[in-house]
């Protein structure tokens, strides 16, 4: 069984590739079909943020049996411009790209764990986890 | 991957065949909004059965599409939302997909 996958992100079509690979990994780990869709949706949003804001980066998908609950971890990492105001970026309706501003808050809503680390000029890393029920 | 648009009398039927990239979704929107005028259609059916994910971009594109088509004089019906996809969209309707549905 594959425990970790790295998906390079350079263009729009990588959004679909990343979420399909994430879904496949989560399926191997035994997630239910509704959880698979939530995981794929979160990967889609995080990967799109990389494409829109940083142009390129990577998505790491891994099985995680550490911590209180086993599950799947998705790490979306880029070396883009970084987020100026993380608090606002997590609010519904706030966007600097002309989007609806529902990506990051949506991801936080549908995943069980959510961590974001961003520094201006250095990039952004978002780590999310979905627990296996 | 392009979405085929079928003309059935006064209606257009667009059946999504696979997962779509953002660019594909935007092409679908442009094509339908254009065809509605050209073919003087009364209604548009968008079948999203094959859509694996309805994230914020897909929700917004479908909602905008329905709105633009209404401005062009036709109605849009979105059909085939998978139960899992509905589950991901529904809580609090926060990603606003629900407003496009009738």
Mean pLDDT value across residues A15-29 = 96
Enumerate long-range contacts of A84-93, CB under 8 Å, 24 or more apart: A84/A120, A86/A116, A86/A118, A89/A116, A90/A116, A92/B94
Whole-complex ipTM = 0.88
Please tell me if residue B52 touches chain A, with a CB cutoff of 8 Å: yes
Nearest CA in chain A to B60: A100
Please tell me if residue B98 touches chain A, with a CB cutoff of 8 Å: no
> Cα(B40)–Cα(B100) distance, rounded to whole angstroms?
21
**pLDDT of amino acid A1:** 65
Contacts of B84 in chain A (CB under 8 A): 33-34, 36-37
**What is the least distance, in Å, from the CA of A37 to any CA of chain B?**
6
Number of independent structural domains in chain B = 1
**pLDDT of amino acid A68:** 78
Interface of chain A toward chain B, CB-CB under 8 angstroms: 12-13, 15-16, 19-20, 23, 33-34, 36-38, 40-41, 44-45, 48, 92, 99-100, 102-103, 105-106, 109-110
Mean pLDDT value across residues A4-23 = 96
Is residue B5 within a helix (H) or strand (E), and if so which, with residue range? strand B5-8
Q: How high is the mean pLDDT of chain A?
A: 92
Mean pLDDT value across residues A56-64 = 96
**Residue A16 to residue B23, Cβ atoms within 8 A:** no
Mean pLDDT value across residues A42-54 = 95
Tell me which residue in B19, B85, B88 faces A20 most closely, judged by beta carbons. Answer: B19
Classified by CATH at the fold level, domain A4-131 comes out as Heat Shock Protein 90 (3.30.565)
**pLDDT of amino acid A103:** 85
Count of CB pairs separated by less than 8 Å, A with B: 70
**What is the least distance, in Å, from the CA of B84 to any CA of chain A?**
5
Q: Which domain holds residue B46?
A: 5-100
Mean pLDDT value across residues B15-28 = 95
**What is the least distance, in Å, from the CA of B19 to any CA of chain A?**
7
**pLDDT of amino acid B101:** 44
Task: Judge whether A129 and A72 are in contact, CB under 8 Å.
Answer: yes
């Amino acid at each position: 069984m594959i425990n970790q996958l790295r998906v390079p992100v350079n263009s729009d079509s990588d959004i679909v590739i990343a979420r399909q690979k994430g879904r496949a990994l989560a399926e191997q780990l035994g997630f239910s079909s509704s959880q698979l869709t939530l995981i794929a949706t979160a990967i889609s949003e995080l990967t799109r943020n990389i494409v829109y804001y940083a142009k390129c980066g990577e998505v790491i998908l891994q099985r995680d049996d550490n911590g209180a609950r086993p599950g799947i971890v998705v790490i979306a990492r880029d070396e883009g411009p970084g987020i100026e105001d993380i608090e606002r970026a997590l609010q519904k309706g706030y966007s600097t790209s002309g989007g609806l501003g529902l990506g990051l808050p949506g991801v936080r809503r549908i995943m069980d764990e959510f961590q974001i680390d961003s520094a201006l000029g250095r990039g952004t890393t978002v780590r999310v986890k979905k627990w296996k029920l | 991957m392009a979405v085929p648009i079928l003309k059935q009398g006064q209606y257009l039927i667009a059946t999504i065949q696979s997962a779509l990239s953002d660019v594909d979704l935007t092409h679908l929107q442009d094509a339908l909004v254009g065809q509605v005028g050209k073919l003087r259609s009364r209604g548009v059916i968008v079948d999203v059965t094959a859509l694996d994910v309805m994230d914020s971009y897909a929700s917004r594109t479908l909602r905008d599409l329905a709105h633009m088509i209404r401005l062009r004089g036709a109605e849009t019906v979105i059909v085939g939302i998978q139960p899992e996809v509905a589950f991901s969209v529904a809580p609090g309707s926060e990603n606003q997909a629900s407003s496009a549905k009738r």
